[in-house]
Amino acid sequence: MPDPTLDRYAVIGNPIEQSKSPFIHTAFAQAIGQSIDYTKLLAPLGGFAAVVDAFRANGGRGMNVTAPFKLDAFAYATDLAPSAQMAGAVNAMKFEGDKVYAENFDGVGLVRDLVHNLKCPLQGRRVLILGAGGATRGALLPLLAEQPSELVIVNRTVVKAQELAALAQQHSAVQVPVLGLGYDAVQGAFDVVLNASSSSLRAELPPLSADVFAPGCLAYDLTYGKGLTPFLQLAQQADVTRLADGVGMLAEQAAEAFAWWRGVRPDTTAVIAQLTVPLA
């Protein structure tokens, strides 16, 4: 039974058993001397709104949203932040009366991990991002705000990469060239290569040439907890020594949500250390 004196939060998804969010948010709260009640909610497909309605009726204060409900949350929200509008998806909600405020912290979480944790500034660097799904879409504006020299989006379904490139050019406040290409059209080497495709979830290798990795490049797989994925193996075989997965992004987007709800931004170092799976 939840403690009625504690503020209630949850992560909603299907499946949800694998979620690290309760561990992360409980650790954040403990580290700053707060107590919260944070649970996992399994919603049936097509049943998102009913489960969220019930959680709010029982005093729920906020939610993280994971697959496959990020679009349902977008539709459910009453007030969409620019990050959620640009991503076309929501990964965090805050409930205040009739209001459902919605954000998408995945993109800022990724950039914070790259720039702050991994000490990989993006300004003036050539950046390649694989995939043109929700993760890439949400990352576009935060990546462009760092002013790379160029951002190339590459995807199997080329038209989706082209659409995201056009969207990014349309909404970005900074003038950075953005290209949307198929894998066979990628040219030259990149300082940062981000795998934001879902290939690593099925241990698949995107049809990527090893020539994309510049000397000293960072190869970053947004998928986390899978060790040395086929993408990271390709980079390693191309003599890339700076390899990372998305565990830091996961912790940083959580820290953004926690700060939004609780007014204090927690340090992520301990959580990242505890969740890290060796890249071997």
- Chain centroid to CA 167: how far? 19
Q: Which of 62, 131, 148, 266 is in the footprint of ligand NDP by CB under 6 A?
A: 131
Check residue 155 for interaction with ligand NDP (CB under 6 A): yes
Q: Which of 64, 104, 172, 223 is in the footprint of ligand NDP by CB under 6 A?
A: 223
Quick check: helix, strand or coil at residue 29? helix
Which two three-digit tokens encode residue 157?
A: 């379904």
Whether 180 contacts 162, CB under 8 Å: yes
* Summary count for the chain: helices (H), strands (E): 10, 12
Closer CB to ligand NDP, residue 226 or residue 242? 226
Q: Sign of dihedral through CA atoms 249, 163, 170, 177?
A: positive
**Total residues at interface with ligand NDP (CB under 6 A):** 26
Check residue 204 for interaction with ligand NDP (CB under 6 A): yes
Check residue 201 for interaction with ligand NDP (CB under 6 A): yes
Check residue 142 for interaction with ligand NDP (CB under 6 A): no
Q: Which of 40, 156, 242, 265 is in the footprint of ligand NDP by CB under 6 A?
A: 156
Closer CB to ligand NDP, residue 201 or residue 277? 201
Check residue 96 for interaction with ligand NDP (CB under 6 A): no
Half-sphere exposure of 250 (CA within 13 A, CB side): 23
Task: Show Cβ contacts of residue 108 under 8 Å, excluding neighbours closer than 6 positions.
Answer: 83, 142, 252, 253, 256
Closer CB to ligand NDP, residue 19 or residue 155? 155
Check residue 253 for interaction with ligand NDP (CB under 6 A): yes
Residues acting as catalytic residues: 70
User: Nearest distance from residue 157's CB to ligand NDP, in Å?
Assistant: 3
User: Nearest distance from residue 33's CB to ligand NDP, in Å?
Assistant: 26
Check residue 196 for interaction with ligand NDP (CB under 6 A): yes
Q: How far apart are the C-alpha atoms of 84 and 74, rounded to whole Å?
A: 7
Q: Which helix (H) or strand (E) holds 127?
A: strand 126-130
Q: How far apart are the C-alpha atoms of 6 and 22, rounded to whole Å?
A: 15
* Residues within the interface to ligand NDP (CB under 6 A): 106, 131-136, 155-157, 160, 196-201, 204, 206, 222-224, 246, 249-250, 253
